[in-house]
Amino acid sequence: MKTPIIIYWLRQDLRIADNQALHYAANNGTVLPVYIWDEVNSQEFTLGAASKVWLHYSLQNLNQNLENKLAIYTGNPLDILLELCTRYKITQVVWNRCYEPWQINRDKNIKHHLMTKNIQVTSFNASLLWEPWEIQKKDGSYYKVFTPFYRNGCLQATQPRQPLAVPREISYFQAENTLAVEDLSLLPTIDWYSKTLTDWQIGEQGAQQKLWWFVEKALYNYKEGRNLPAKRYTSLLAPHLHFGEISPNQIWYVVKQLPEEQNIDCFCSELGWREFSYSQIYFNSDLPWQNLQRKFDKFPWQHNQDKLRAWQRGMTGIPIVDAGMRELWQTGYMHNRVRMIVGSFLVKNLLIDWRYGAKWFWDCLFDADLANNSASWQWIAGCGADAAPYFRIFNPITQGEKFDPDGEYIRKYIPELRQLPTKYIFNPIDAPSAVLKNANIILGETYPMPIVDIKESRQQALDAFKAFSAE
């Protein structure tokens, strides 16, 4: 008897291990793996420039793992799926669920239309440890504070699903008239990305290597070391997770097999923060553009394009901020502690709307993730769920002194300050003229003067917060 062809529609699950939809399709028929570049539905949430580069190479890796059978298309997924089902007499489509609001709406619409054509649709969770609707309070409302969400919700819920192995046998169907990855034009015409990719191995194998490197070399000091940007104690798994080259379940169970201790608990709680972000965007579909705390709709943001541009270029005159922004531009990544520092500086010292920061990160980060990006920016701005209070303002100078005490991170990304003694590298304006001269630094020429006074801008932010809170 001829086995049925089952379309497996890939999205943010670009792997073959621990892949529920692929597993189901392989066990129940011949698999037609399909990827559709969808700019019809994504609109303003189309991937940023850095993420497109990552996707290009991730799809190439995936296609190799799928024995070069990946059918690639561009356009409206509903039209393409219907056309494939008609052409090849297919009656089953499977996918792993996506959780961004626009994706949920799109998928509901596609499922409805396919089912009216007597095409069976089966979906799975391959991206989260827990479904957002599974983690709710006893009264049926969703959690707005992380600690009870994680401790009382996640850790008291059913254990995350055990990872699946790669199916023993996969019979693939080769579709006709498909595109090559290159036809999607994901790479920019100007090659700014080759140097950026030198530290990354994109794809499923690279994700696994990164996980095991982290477990063997860095996890033992994660709780303390994760805040040191000059050292590598973080996993660097975020872009692999976003594109589904590795699942959170795979990470969770590798780590949970180790003897329980504080570094493991701390790392697992960071996976919990990812779940929390997805919970927030699931229950608040306008999270990417709307203040979760609506009182912030009246906040008197300033619209200073020159200061925004200085922040984007890493030319603020505040070394730890500039180092972070240059790391972002040069590597497609920024250390998490530094993300908090540069975010606080933008929204509280420059009084620039958090949405400008979110948009810049969306375009520049390899790991740009709508849930994480939106929730994190709202957190640092003080307007989100479980947000840092607006009056909690990072001092970027003391943050640099505390977390980059030798100035190693600053020197790496700001070469013009390399010769400056560590005592002055966090705030060069304090350096005597003779010290600056010996370091070949002319403030305002070789390195910018600070675009704001830290103390004065902090007070200005506090005054603005008090004024709008009193209304």
C-alpha span between 3 and 169 (Å, rounded): 14
In the residue annotation, 83 being an active-site residue is answered as no
Q: Which long-range contacts (CB under 8 A, 24 or more apart) does 457-464 make?
A: 457/348, 457/349, 457/350, 457/351, 458/348, 458/349, 458/393, 458/395, 460/351, 461/348, 461/349, 461/351, 461/390, 461/393, 462/391, 462/393, 464/299, 464/300, 464/351
Catalytic residue among 130, 354, 362, 379: 354
Catalytic residue among 273, 304, 395, 401: 273
Q: Is 134 exposed, middle or buried (0-12, 13-18, 19+ CB in 10 A)?
A: middle
Q: How far is CA 161 from CA 95, 238, 265, 398, in A?
A: 17, 20, 18, 43
Catalytic residue among 28, 134, 152, 301: 301
Catalytic residue among 131, 134, 270, 401: 270
Q: Which residues contact 266 (CB under 8 A, 6 or more apart)?
A: 222, 223, 226
C-alpha span between 10 and 237 (Å, rounded): 20
Nearest Cα neighbor of 153 from 172, 170, 171, 131 is 131
Give the pair of three-digit tokens for residue 221: 């000091």
In the residue annotation, 301 being an active-site residue is answered as yes
Q: Which helix (H) or strand (E) holds 96?
A: strand 92-96
Catalytic residue among 54, 200, 252, 377: 377
Give the pair of three-digit tokens for residue 421: 């003694």
C-alpha span between 355 and 368 (Å, rounded): 14
Q: Where are the alpha helices (DSSP H) in 284-318?
A: 305-313
Angle between helices 396-403 and 336-344 in degrees, nearest 10? 170
Catalytic residue among 28, 152, 304, 336: 336
In the residue annotation, 192 being an active-site residue is answered as no
In the residue annotation, 252 being an active-site residue is answered as no
Nearest Cα neighbor of 32 from 51, 7, 15 is 7
C-alpha span between 386 and 33 (Å, rounded): 40
In the residue annotation, 336 being an active-site residue is answered as yes
Catalytic residue numbers read 270, 273, 301, 336, 354, 377
